[in-house]
């Protein structure tokens, strides 16, 4: 497959400063620290992990809403990691975001028609107001909204409808890449499926490439072709969706999947829940070497806390950063479907 985006050694540290007049940097939040992955054309790549692991920061770096501290972001052969605003403007048409909160991501003082039509105005597309209105109403119909509600304000819509407005705005300029940052986490379960199916339908119709961020592993499995598991600013495992769910190799991935409810009562009884001990360490002072070693059930002193594991291809094709990946027996205990 052809890579649309190639991310290499991506780093984003947010400085911590002290002082009112003469500010002095006293540390940094290591939000993303050496992340590398490819996003292939037409696929859906999932980013999963606990809150604070760097998923959303990674998304904002890829779309250049944030400038990285270091590393490269190659989009269609062009490194945009440190591109200025002028160079980025034409690329904005091809890279769009759908945000998590449909309530705060829309301007409450603007009508829905104005919100969805904003990309046309920013990029100087279709100045004729009548034609622009027709384009916006076509977009509204495409995402399942009533075109007659063009002049309504956001507060007149439900949460699911507001997220559809956000999706319509994102696809207005026919982008190549959509980054969906937990787009259904603020919605009722019954509405989540509708938005997910909408995104999948639009992907097929428009040939979209999607980066899908979520903490709900069931949602990610439904949406994604490949999944990257993040922990404390680093990717610890990357694999095809089915392979990751049936045969996770990193202990952190296995712990996450052991917490997923199993619909089959027999399999649920057989499954061993892997409860992680301790809290997630602070990103201002992460553990040495393997960042997961302070909570890992397979921790080996003098190795895991001294030598940082590199991402390497393990059994089954999983790319894993772990000195002691899960064995088949350990996987079967945590994920009964692997042995079924």
Among 142, 208, 218, smallest CA distance to 184 is for 218
Retrieve residue 51's tokens.
Answer: 């809150």
**Confidence class for position 221, pLDDT limits 50, 70, 90:** confident
What is the band of 339 on the pLDDT scale with cuts at 50, 70, 90?
very low
- pLDDT for res 267: 65
Band of residue 215 on the pLDDT scale cut at 50, 70, 90: confident
Tokens representing 2 are: 């052809």
Confidence grade of residue 336 (pLDDT, cut at 50, 70, 90): low
pLDDT grade for 57, boundaries at 50, 70 and 90: very high
pLDDT above 60 (res 50): yes
Residue ranges and CATH numbers for the domains of the chain are 3-17+27-103+177-195+204-338 (3.40.50.300)
Region 12-37: mean pLDDT is 90
The pLDDT, as a whole number, for residue 22 is: 78
- Which of 7-11, 128-132, 263-267, 276-280 has the lowest average pLDDT? 263-267
Q: What is the mean pLDDT of the chain?
A: 91
Per-residue pLDDT averaged across 314-319, rounded?
Answer: 90
Roughly how many angstroms between the first and final C-alpha of the chain, as a whole number? 31
Residue 292 binned pLDDT confidence (cut-offs 50, 70, 90)? very high
- Tokens 């919605």 correspond to 187
Give the residue with greater pLDDT, 142 vs 257: 142
Phi, psi of 247 (to 5 degrees): -140, 65
CA–CA separation, 28 and 284 (whole Å): 6
DSSP category for residue 247:
S
Q: How many CB atoms lie within 10 A of CB 276?
A: 18
Closest to 185 in 3D by CA, of 212, 151, 207, 210: 212
pLDDT of 340 reads 42
94: three-class secondary structure by DSSP: coil
- 51 pLDDT above the threshold of 70: yes
Q: Where are the beta strands (DSSP E) in the chain?
A: 3-18, 24-40, 44-48, 70-75, 78-79, 95-98, 177-181, 209-213, 226-231, 234-240, 312-313, 319-320
Q: What single-letter DSSP state applies at residue 262?
A: -
d(CA 217, CA 219): 5
Helix (H, G, I), strand (E, B) or coil at 33: strand
What average pLDDT does range 213-236 have in this prediction?
A: 91
pLDDT value at residue 185? 87
- Can you give the pLDDT at residue 90? 87
Structure confidence at residue 217 as a pLDDT band (50, 70, 90):
confident
Q: Is the pLDDT of residue 125 over 80?
A: yes
Mean pLDDT score, 197-212: 96
Q: How many CB atoms lie within 10 A of CB 101?
A: 16
**How many CB atoms are closer than 10 A to CB 254?**
23
pLDDT of residue 20: 79
In this prediction, what percent of the chain has a pLDDT beyond 90?
70
Band (pLDDT 50/70/90 cuts) for residue 270 is low
Written as one string, the DSSP assignment of 191-239 is HHHHHHHHHHHHHHHHT-EEEEE-S-HHHHHHH-SEEEEEETTEEEEEE
Q: What is the pLDDT of residues 69-86, one digit of tens each?
A: 999 999 999 999 999 988
Residue 127 to residue 123: CA distance in whole angstroms? 10
Amino acid 257: pLDDT = 86
Element (H, E) at 122: helix 112-122
CA-wise closest residue to 66 among 102, 22, 29: 29
Read off the pLDDT of each residue in 234-255 and give the average, rounded to a whole number: 94
pLDDT digits (tens, 9 = 90+) for 133-145: 999 999 999 999 9
% of the chain with per-residue pLDDT over 70: 95
Prediction pTM value = 0.92
Label residue 337 by pLDDT band (50, 70, 90): low
């Amino acid at each position: 497959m052809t890579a649309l985006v190639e991310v290499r050694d991506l780093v984003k540290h947010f400085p911590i400063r002290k002082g009112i007049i003469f500010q002095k940097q006293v540390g940094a939040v290591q939000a993303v620290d050496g992340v590398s992955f490819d996003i292939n054309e037409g696929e859906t790549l999932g980013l999963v992990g606990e809150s604070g692991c760097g998923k959303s920061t990674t998304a904002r770096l890829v779309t250049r809403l944030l400038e990285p501290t270091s590393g490269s972001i190659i989009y269609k052969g062009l490194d945009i990691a440190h591109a200025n605003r002028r160079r980025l403007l034409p690329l904005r048409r091809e890279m769009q975001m759908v945000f998590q909160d449909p309530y705060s991501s829309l301007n409450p003082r603007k009508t829905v028609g104005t919100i969805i039509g904003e990309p046309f105005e920013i990029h100087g597309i279709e100045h004729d107001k009548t034609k622009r209105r027709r384009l916006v109403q076509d977009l509204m119909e495409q995402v399942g909204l009533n075109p007659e509600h063009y002049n309504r304000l956001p507060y007149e819509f439900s949460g699911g409808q507001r997220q559809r407005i956000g999706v319509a705005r994102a696809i207005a300029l026919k982008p190549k890449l959509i980054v969906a940052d937990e787009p259904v986490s603020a919605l009722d379960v019954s509405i989540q499926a509708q938005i997910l199916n909408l995104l999948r339908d639009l992907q097929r119709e428009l040939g979209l490439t999607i980066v899908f961020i979520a903490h709900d592993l069931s949602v990610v499995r439904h949406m994604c072709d490949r999944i990257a598991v993040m922990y404390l600013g680093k990717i610890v495992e990357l694999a095809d969706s089915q392979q990751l769910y049936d045969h996770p190799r990193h202990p952190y991935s296995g712990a996450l999947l052991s917490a997923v409810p199993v619909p089959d009562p027999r399999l649920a009884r057989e499954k061993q829940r892997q409860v992680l001990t301790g809290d997630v360490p602070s990103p201002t002072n992460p553990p040495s070497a393997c960042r997961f070693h302070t909570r890992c059930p397979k921790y080996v002193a003098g190795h895991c806390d001294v030598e940082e594991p590199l991402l390497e291809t393990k059994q089954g094709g999983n790319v894993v950063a772990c000195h002691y990946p899960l064995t088949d027996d350990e996987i079967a205990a945590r994920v009964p479907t692997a042995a079924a």
